[in-house]
A = this chain, B = another copy of it.
Amino acid sequence: MTHTELPRTLAPTERTRLRRMKEKASFERSDLEAILDAGFVCHLGVIVDGDPMVVPTVYGRDERNLYVHGSVASRSLVNAEGDDVDATICVTVTHVDGLVLARSVFEHGVNYRCAMIYGTPRRLVDDAEKTEGLRILTEHATPGQWDYARRPTRKELAATTVFALSLEEASVKIRTGAPDDGDSPDAALGLWAGTLPLTSRWGAPTADPALPSGITAPAHIVARAGTRQG
């Protein structure tokens, strides 16, 4: 695999172009990366027996690839012989930032940031790249945890499926701000209009009841409490 950098603008393909004809599309790779970095659960779309299936799963990323944990997805991406299936998947990461409450029901909407990535995933196979995939997944969800927790054994690696998906083909949609009907005839109705923001925050760490007393949560976990997620 070459390691030339991915272009910083997201070149359109047939399926991403269609989304881009609508308002609110972004063509900046930096927007894609910011959306991916703000979350850790994606919705993975695969085809199973001819029908779509959408499953939530954890992900991480590096400069070139998204890494997804593949327990459920592997049903559709690996055949009975254990070989990879040459199937396209769609991975969607969405952050819901609030409700857009307009004067008219028709103009109601949601403020959100959404990234969609399309491609044929590659299953990580050797222990070294699987370990690196799990490191990326772990550090993406909980920075500092890879160095803290016990790392996977060979047996655990064998029981784990991780897929890499190139970040080459992606589309980004973002909506922010006030409703769009502030300059419409509806403005004369005298109705309140605005947004109701939604924010997700980490709470205080809760110890496993099985934990012996005297073991305190590590700094990288404690520091996260109260911070924003998304």
Please give the residue numbers on chain A whose beta carbons come within 8 Å of chain B beta carbons, in ascending order: 14-15, 18-19, 40-41, 43-56, 58, 72, 75, 88-92, 94, 96, 98-99, 101-106, 108, 110, 112, 114, 116, 118, 134, 138, 141-142, 145-146, 148-153, 156, 159-160, 178-179, 182-183, 186-187, 189-211, 215-218, 221, 224-225, 229
Partner of A202, one of B56, B92, B197: B197
Copies per complex? 2
Question: Do the beta carbons of A210 and B183 come within 8 Å of each other?
Answer: yes
CB neighbours (8 Å) of A56 from chain B are: 92, 94, 96, 112, 114
CB neighbours (8 Å) of A229 from chain B are: 198
Chain A, interface SS category: mixed
Complex-state Cα separation, A110 to B15, whole angstroms: 31
Q: List 21 A-B contacts (CB under 8 A).
A: A43-B92, A43-B94, A47-B52, A52-B90, A54-B91, A56-B92, A56-B96, A101-B145, A102-B149, A103-B149, A103-B150, A104-B150, A105-B145, A105-B152, A148-B191, A150-B191, A179-B208, A182-B209, A192-B218, A194-B217, A196-B203
